[in-house]
Structure 1
Amino acid sequence: MDKILGLGNALIDVLATLKDDTLLDELGLPKGSMQLIDDAKLQQINEHFSQMETHMATGGAAANTIKALASLGASTGFIGKVGNDRYGDFFRESLLENDIEEKLLTSADLPSGVASTFISPDGERTFGTYLGAASSLRAEDLALDMFKGYAYLLIEGYLVQDHDMILHAIELAKEAGLQVCLDMASYNIVEGDLEFFSLLINKYVDIVFANEEEARAFTGKTDPEEALEIIAKRCSIAIVKVGGNGSYIRKGTEEIKVDAIPVNTVLDTTGAGDYFAAGFLYGLTCGYSLEKCAKIGSILSGNVIQVVGTTVSKECWDEIKLNINEILSE
């Protein structure tokens, strides 16, 4: 089985479930977005969190995908940067516990990054992200040996603020023979750096994951199939996820639509896209058809939205694996 390497912001997710969206307005966080925040905003959020029930887990889009892949038995690794603190230790230990090759760098000056995650009553999630040490990952931190032995590099769109680092990572990945996968991450990130996203996808990226809003932000098309066609002309495989309506996948002239799995209650959409990417990439590393890859992605995303956060129980993973086997036997 091919090995998959993730490159992303090493974050700790601190999650809180909201009774309504009033707090989002008070904090100036647009619902469903990811906003980068400073120390002052983090302290403001922490004051609210101190009066709420919260849950802590490892986070970051690429890390979520890599962790889910590892839970399926895939061989994985992760590159990121943490602080020399308890959050950094928590993140490192989580990788090791899941048999993920940790390639974490440590900042001597900055604390580990924290993603304050607000879960609305309808399951939509909103992030106020303090990047901390995660944002200090630089091009010079990366070396060719980190990429050797892997078949795929997954990059999260949240990293695009450092163009030099992303381009150097891709350069090293290509030199080591890896295919590059990009998860667009968030519609406002795409809107804010559209020219650079265009450069990456036109010249370097092999596989693109986008949800409906990200695809619209990138192409200007409101119809997901139209957006899919535009993206697919620029890369090898394009995926546009449309939430409860499933996903569209296109490779060359081949296009398929896969339904989402039925879900009774959506508790939290955090990690839905990350888990879809994990299922899809798992299928690719096993050599399955695009349809089966997308169906596995749907199984994973459909399960993670039924829990708060991105930590799925062992019992749930056992059920996921049974469902995957059923698909493979069709």
Structure 2
Amino acid sequence: MSKVIGMGNALVDILTRLQDDTILSELKYPKGSMQLVNIEEVANVLLATRDFPRNQASGGSAANTIHGLANLGVETGFFGKVGRDEWGAFFRSDLEKRSIKPYLLESDNESGRAFALISPDSERTFATFLGAAVELAHHEIPDSLFDDYSILHIEGYLVQNRDLIRHALQLAKSKGLKVSLDLASFNVVEDNLDFLHEMVEKYVDILFANEEEAKAFTGLAEEEALHKISEFCDLTVLKLGKKGSVIKHHDEIVKIAPIQVESLDTTGAGDLYASGFLFGMIHGLSIQQCGRIGSLLAGKVIEVIGPKMDDATWNMIKEEVAALMN
């Protein structure tokens, strides 16, 4: 079976459910966006949300996707950087519990954290303190890192380090890996448009984007954006939330309906969709089956707070995936 390695910002998610969007306005955070914050702003976020319940989970977009694949039985690894602190130890432990091979470098600075502010309609807004995660450098990527893998899944959030992304993609392609990219937040795409265009055109085989990200990337909406992106890569997945998803593979276009769920928190929905889709690809399933498994995982994860589901839920998911495969 193909093995998948993820590369991204190693973050611990701090998940906070808001009563309304007032705090987002006070903090001047556009709803649904991701903004990078410094350690002083971390204190502001903690102060503003002090009266709301919180919980934590290891996170980061690519790491979430790798966790999903590992829970489905795929051999996986993850490459990133953490601090020598309780957050870094928590992140490593979470990988090892799921038999994900940790390729984690360490820093004397604090580990990264992502503050997920969850609105009542389940939309989430991120304030991300990258900490040690941002220190990952292109020269720290071992030449042998990708030797045992068939797919590299990478997150667009890494664009703060363009040399890192470029080197990783070049190395992966030289080793014969397929490259899967999740575009990340729409404002990240807007701020790094030319660079992302270059990377997608040169190196990316599979691209995942939601509606806002695809519009930021192309200036077009929905299926027009899908067609434009497909000029650059072999397979494009457009995630449309409650409207499902649309996939284009060369001239084949497939529409996938969402599953019916009660949405509690959309954190991790796109990441887990990628898990399901890549799982289907690894097993040689049709584009329709890949999309349906992606939709299943995305639907299930938004019924819980945070990007992680318990073992009982995963057992149910695996039964449904087996049925979809047959």
Q: Same fold (TM over 0.5)?
A: yes
Which residue of the partner structure matches residue 178 of structure 1? 177
| 1:61 pairs with 2:48 | no
Select 2:244's aligned residue among 229, 243, 246: 246
Q: Which residue of 2 aligns with 1:121?
A: 120
In structure 2, what is the Cα distance between the partners aligned to 1:241 and 1:51? 34
- Note the 1:278-317 alignment, pairs <5 A: 278-317=275-314
Q: Give the partner amino acid of 1:179.
A: K
Per-residue CA deviations over 1:262-298 (Å, capped at 9, x if unaligned) read 11x2100000000000000011111111110010000
Please give the alpha-carbon distance, in whole angstroms, between the structure 2 residues aligned to 1:15 and 1:159: 21
The separation in 2 between residues aligned to 1:249 and 1:153, in whole angstroms, is 20
1:218 aligned partner: 217
> CA contact under 8 A between 1:144 and 1:176: conserved in structure 2?
no
Q: Quote how far apart the aligned CAs of 1:161 are.
A: 1.3
Deviation at 1:304, TM superposition (A): 0.3
- Does the 8 Å contact 1:179/1:205 carry over to 2? yes
Deviation at 1:48, TM superposition (A): 3.1
Structure 1 residue 326: deviation in Å?
1.8
1:184/1:209 contact within 8 Å kept: yes
| Residue aligning to 1:229 | 227
Which moves more between the two structures, 74-83 or 173-182? 173-182
Residue 199 (structure 2) aligns with: 200
Cross-structure match for 1:94: 94
CA distance in structure 2 between the aligned counterparts of 1:325 and 1:39, rounded to whole angstroms:
45
Shift of 1:146: 1.1
Q: Which residue number in structure 2 is paired with residue 105 of structure 1?
A: 105
Q: Per-residue CA shift, 1:65-115, capped at 9, x if unaligned?
A: 00010000001000000001000000001101100010000012x100010
Shifted more, 51-60 versus 111-120: the winner is 51-60
**Partners of 2:21 and 2:82 in 1: CA distance:** 31
CA deviation vs aligned residue, 1:233-286 (integer Å, no higher than 9, x gap): 1101011010011111111111110111111x2100000000000000011111
Q: Which runs of 4+ in 1 moved over 6 A?
A: none
TM-score (norm 2): 0.99
Q: Is the 8 A contact 1:143 1:172 kept in 2?
A: no
CA distance in 2, matches of 1:77, 1:39: 29
Runs (5+) with no aligned partner, structure 1: none
Report the Cα distance in structure 2 between the residues aligned to 1:48 and 1:216, rounded to whole angstroms.
32
What secondary structure sits across from 1:250 in the alignment?
strand
Supply the distance in 2 between the matched residues of 1:240 and 1:231 (Cα, whole angstroms): 10
3-state DSSP class of the match of 1:213? Answer: helix
SS at match of 1:14: strand
- The superposition leaves residues 133-192 of structure 1 with CA deviations (integer Å, 9 ceiling, x where unpaired) of 000000011012111110000110000111111011111111221111110011100001
- Would the aligned equivalents of 2:18 and 2:52 in 1 still touch at CA under 8 Å? no
**Unmatched tracts of structure 2, length 5 or more:** none
Aligned sequence identity (%): 48
Indicate the residue corresponding to 2:131 in structure 1. 132
SS in 2 for 1:12: strand
The separation in 2 between residues aligned to 1:175 and 1:101, in whole angstroms, is: 22
Structure 1 residue aligned with 2:21: 21
Structure 1 letter corresponding to 2:235: I
- The one-letter code sitting in structure 1 at the alignment partner of 2:34 is M
Q: Tell me the CA shift for residue 50 of structure 1.
A: 3.5
- Deviation digits for residues 192-229 of structure 1, max 9, x if unmatched? 1000010011111111000000000011112x111111
Q: 1-side partners of 2:120 and 2:42: how far apart?
A: 22
TM-score if structure 1 supplies the norm length? 0.97
Name the Cα RMSD after superposition.
0.8
